[in-house]
Amino acid sequence: MPPGGGAVPGPQAEEPQRGSRTRTLLLPGAIGAAVGLVVGGFVGSILGGGADDPGVDADLRLACDYASSLTEDFDPDAVIDVDGPVHWQVLAVSGHAQAAAAADDTYAELRTHSGDLLTGTQSLDAALIEETLTAIVHSCQDL
């Protein structure tokens, strides 16, 4: 013990780097949420009915509307920011597109686009996300 009666200072523990740890934990969470959206949409559309189900129209309308609004003022930084709402809106487009395609084969093209959006969000590839959102908008015009 030192002369003043206090404890002997030991080696200081290093502070963990918060930024990199948080980002590392968020990406798997985002991937899990995306898979949950797609599986939930798929199961919901199977249990909810087929092409006559009004949910199909709602899924289609939401996917098309979201894709259209996201392409108007596309912000590459916003779509890959897992802490922001735009990233999750892109995942919502994917989930609704997948649900519509699962319920009605008329929308099968949206199934491919849904997968591409998931790939883009998982890899944080803003260019792929933008390209796919634009493809969804074009597909929606043809429906």
Q: 130: domain CATH number?
A: 1.20.120
**For position 51, what pLDDT does the model report?**
46
61 assigned to some structural domain: yes
pLDDT-based confidence at 142, cuts 50/70/90?
Answer: confident
How far apart are alpha carbons 102 and 112 in whole angstroms?
A: 11
For the chain, what is the largest distance between any 2 Cα atoms, rounded to a whole number of angstroms? 85
d(CA 67, CA 136): 7
Residue 2 within any structural domain of the chain: no
Task: Work out the pLDDT band at 131, boundaries 50, 70, 90.
Answer: very high
Between residues 45 and 110, which one has the greater pLDDT?
110
Tell whether 27 is covered by a domain. Answer: no
Task: Assign 143 a pLDDT band (cuts: 50, 70, 90).
Answer: confident
Closest Cα partner for 99 from 86, 110, 90, 88? Answer: 110
Q: How confident is the model at residue 50 (pLDDT cuts 50, 70, 90)?
A: very low
Would you mind telling me the total number of residues written for the chain in this entry?
143
Number of domains in the chain: 1
- pTM of this prediction exceeds 0.75: no
63 domain residue, yes or no = yes
Residue 135 included in any domain = yes
In a domain, 3, yes or no: no
User: Would 34 be classed as within a structural domain?
Assistant: no
**Domain region containing 128:** 51-142
